[in-house]
Chains A and B, each alone.
Chain A
Amino acid sequence: MNGYASAGVAVVLTGVALAVGIYLVAIGDRLLASLVGGGGIGWRTAVVRPAQRATLLLLQQRLTTEPSDAPGWALAPAFFLALAAVALAMVPVARGRAAADPATGFVVFSAAIALVMIAVFLHGWSPDAALPLHGAYRYGAQALSFQIPFLLAMLAAALPAQSLSIVDIVAAQDTVWNVIRTPLGLPLFLIVGASVSSWGPVNLADAADIAGGTSAEDSGVGRLLWQTARYGMLVAVAAMGGALFLGGWWGPLLPGPFWVILKTVVLLLAFLAAGHLLARVRTETFVVVSWAVLIPLALVNIFFTGAFLL
């Protein structure tokens, strides 16, 4: 079952899903922040505030650094957002249906995740300023460390389907979800998913301790686009996590798209809660744990999946 929706349908579907998801993340983040940290803002404020903030950033003056690499600086957020759209387009939305389901959807998604390191590095490099550069190098260390455990975790999810097509991978979860067949896959995937979006406890590139890292020099529309792209990547990763590990469109009674959305929202809530409840790890800890703990765990996970299938 490999195919593509017509180009117009695919673009509109992905664009609308991405835009709605990004706005929901912005609302949910504010609600959870007030829930955890007090300050009690109501529903209406939470819904209106992201639009106000976006408008403010659109109207704000865009400041640049003197020796900046202007094309790279302008390109990085657009590239990041495009990668989020590519990743989201691979997610099956209903039984046997996705905006794009190439035979190698697995590799396309992984390539989008890998290219995020280029977008983040470019974003931190091009302002030619100390703190963004610091964030860029941090992300380089982080991304190169999680790449192998990430691919191994994804591989374990593809094993039961014996296919690299995401629709086939979801279709193979009709009796038992991958979260049971590859128990360590989802946690590994979520760690990486938060990392590529520079989110919560593994937000090293845009961290508060380096004053926003790669986005420290951003202002105006550049800042708006970069934050939008980060939220978009979070949405894409949550949707893909639901498809790869939580059975995608499979679920009792209700139609497939409902389950896809529900699973995406549950994973998004987990990301948002982690962002407000967990402390940020240090770069050294992340790198050491990735190489020394996550890679062996991911290999154990693959062996477990293989044994389960045999």
Chain B
Amino acid sequence: MNAPSWTTVLFWFFAAGGVITGYRVFRADSMVRAAFFLLASFAATGGLLVLLGAEFLGMVLILMMAGEMLVMAIIMVMYMMNPAGLNPMFMVHQHRTSVIAAVASFLALAVLPFVITLPARANPRPVAATAQLGTELLGDSMLVFQTAGVTLLATIVGTVALTSRRGRYGDAEEGSKEPPLEEEAMESP
């Protein structure tokens, strides 16, 4: 029996790690732990992408997810009913629906390996994947990505415009104005 190559060892490390941490996301009893387990799962997926030769995509996935997961953890803690999200909680609700959804999506994904044609080589040849990706993004697919980018930017601007109208010191259009020092007569509620 041949000793397994480093690639094989790393593949199983990342594959098993991704599944286990993904499972732990739903067993965690705290929003922050769940978010960080999800980050670990994404990092393992990034490792798999690097093994596939898509170095840039794998590393960018890890780079982007660091910030995303922190934002997600903070915002979810903000929405928690218990103080500061520090009390234990359950990640899974509507158990029967979740089981059906999980089985259905697993079957849908499990069909894929049987219906696509897999490449003959197990290990991809080293290619200039980053350069190819750049050519694709700024070449044939430019319109798609630029449209998506502008749409997302418009969404961000729209969200900020809708939510930040009323600030602590008055309406946003009037500019921020500090409250006067002398006490004003309170209006009746």
**A positions within 8 Å CB-CB of B:** 67, 69, 72, 102-104, 107-108, 110-111, 114-115, 117-118, 121-122, 125, 128, 133, 137, 140, 143-144, 147, 164
Contact = CB atoms under 8 A, between A and B. Distances in A.
B78 to A, nearest CB: 11
A114 to B, nearest CB: 4
Contact of B130 (A67, A143, A164): A164
Interface in B49-99: 55-56, 59-60, 62-64, 66-67, 69-71, 73-74, 84, 86
A128 B39 CA distance: 21
B36 interface: yes
B73 A103 contact: no
Interface in B14-39: 30, 32-33, 36, 39
Secondary structure call for the A interface: helix
Interface residues of B, number: 23
Contacts of B84: 133
Contact of B66 (A67, A69, A118, A164): A118
Contact of B39 (A72, A118, A137): A118
B36 to A, nearest CB: 7
B86 A118 contact: no
B63 A107 contact: yes
Nearest to A128: B86
Contacts of B30: 69
Contacts of B56: 103-104, 107, 164
Contacts, number: 59
Contacts of A118: 36, 39, 66, 69-70
B33 A104 contact: no
Nearest to B32: A125
Interface of B: 30, 32-33, 36, 39, 55-56, 59-60, 62-64, 66-67, 69-71, 73-74, 84, 86, 128, 130
Given A114-B64, A144-B71, 7 more contacts: A103-B130, A107-B56, A111-B59, A111-B63, A114-B62, A114-B66, A164-B130
A103 B57 CA distance: 12
Contact of B59 (A107, A121, A122, A143): A107
13 contacts: A67-B86, A69-B30, A103-B128, A104-B55, A104-B59, A111-B63, A114-B64, A117-B66, A117-B67, A121-B73, A122-B32, A122-B36, A144-B70
A181 to B, nearest CB: 21
Contact of B74 (A108, A137, A164): A137
Contact of B67 (A108, A122, A147): A147
Contact of B55 (A72, A103, A121): A103
A295 to B, nearest CB: 14
Contact of A143 (B63, B70, B73): B70
Contacts of B60: 107, 111
Contacts of A128: 86
B33 to A, nearest CB: 7
Contact of B33 (A72, A115, A140): A72
Residue from the set B36, B70, B71, B130 with the largest chain A CB neighbour count within 10 Å: B70
* A-B residue pairs, 3 tightest by C-beta: A111-B63, A114-B66, A107-B59
Contacts of B69: 118
- Interface-central residue, B36, B59, B67, B71, by most chain A CB under 10 Å: B59
Contacts of A144: 67, 70-71
A162 to B, nearest CB: 10
A218 B56 CA distance: 37
Contact of A121 (B70, B128, B130): B70
A110 B70 contact: no
Residue of B63, B67, B128 contacting most chain A CB atoms (<10 Å) = B63
A111 B70 contact: no
B93 to A, nearest CB: 23
A114 B55 contact: no
A233 B178 CA distance: 40
A66 to B, nearest CB: 12
A67 B66 CA distance: 26
Nearest to A163: B130
A159 to B, nearest CB: 13
A72 B28 CA distance: 13
A114 B39 CA distance: 12
A104 B70 contact: no
Contacts of B86: 67, 128
